[in-house]
Amino acid sequence: MLVIEHLDAGYKNKQVLKEINLTFAEGGFITLMGANGCGKSTLLHCISGLLTPSNGHIQLNESNLLAMKRKEVAQRLALLPQVATTPSGLTARELIMQGRFPWQNWWRQWSAADEKAVNDAIEVTNVGDYLDLPLEQLSGGQRQRCWIAMTLAQDTPILLLDEPTTYLDVSHQVELMNLIASLKLKGKTIIAVLHDLNQAATYSDHLVMMKKGEIYTQGKVQDVFTKENLKAVFDLDANIITDPFHGTPLALPIVEMNPNSTSSIDDVAVNHPHHER
């Protein structure tokens, strides 16, 4: 269980997070959402130890995360930051092997446990076909799979993912989200920042909506992903319908093109039985 209490954080002259209180149970897929600059990434950075909060407490099970050494934190939480650049001169395998960094030191080099963690990560992410190719030669989707594999090789119970699908084609986004959702079944707790509303609603178990550095609301997707909350958090006018295949809510932004198109969206929404709540 990950407990965040009274957390304040920010950069030099700008406070970003104010009085954050959150509790995450073990397992499941949690998504942090909110408009740009609301502090989602900052919160991820605080949890993973990249940013020291000015105030507050973060507790993971019995231990105080803020008092831990960096490597100890990295043995419990794996962070995949927003990666814009590809490290040069590395093959996919060499990247994935770096995930073992927190488990190694000068007197304990590459071990059987390291080998196993890397092979497991390779198998789960299905990157076996291009392990020995340089990262520069891979597609964006393949490369992102390798990054996920690296965080998996870190062998932590919790994964923190900062907009893992940015810069990817639609089909690759779906592939990657399916992969990430499947990790949940392996007992991982996934805490992700996603900017695609419908991806968040489809894949998450729990949503945390943030606004201006504070938690606006949080809860189960069905309870939180509402027209009113989307308006308040994103200033977005959208209708909510239910995905007929997955039963999860979907947001359809109201398009102001011509009267016919808006009314047809309303028709769909109103005609759908699940919408009446």
Contacting residues toward other proteins, per CB under 8 A: 48-50, 69-75, 78-81, 83, 85, 87-90, 93-95, 98-99, 101-102, 104, 106, 110, 115, 119, 128, 131-132, 154, 160
Report in angstroms how near the CB of residue 161 gets to other proteins at its nearest.
Answer: 11
Report in angstroms how near the CB of residue 100 gets to other proteins at its nearest.
Answer: 9
Residue closer to other proteins, measured from CB, 3 or 68: 68
Q: Find, among 171, 174, 165, the residue nearest to 143 by Cα.
A: 165
Report in angstroms how near the CB of residue 85 gets to other proteins at its nearest.
Answer: 6
Residue closer to other proteins, measured from CB, 33 or 77: 77
Residue closer to other proteins, measured from CB, 41 or 229: 41
Distance (Å, whole) CA 102 – CA 93? 17
Report in angstroms how near the CB of residue 158 gets to other proteins at its nearest.
Answer: 12
Report in angstroms how near the CB of residue 62 gets to other proteins at its nearest.
Answer: 20
Question: Which structure tokens are listed for 214?
Answer: 């504070």
Strands 28-33 and 189-193: parallel
Residue closer to other proteins, measured from CB, 56 or 81: 81
Question: Which structure tokens are listed for 56?
Answer: 């507050």
Helix (H), strand (E) at residue 44 = helix 40-48
Distance (Å, whole) CA 65 – CA 40? 19
Question: Which structure tokens are listed for 263?
Answer: 């009314």
Residue closer to other proteins, measured from CB, 113 or 255: 113
CA 97 to mean position of chain CA atoms: 22
What Rg value do the Cα atoms of the chain yield, rounded?
Answer: 20
Report in angstroms how near the CB of residue 74 gets to other proteins at its nearest.
Answer: 3
Number of Cβ within a 10 Å radius of residue 267: 10
Residue closer to other proteins, measured from CB, 83 or 254: 83
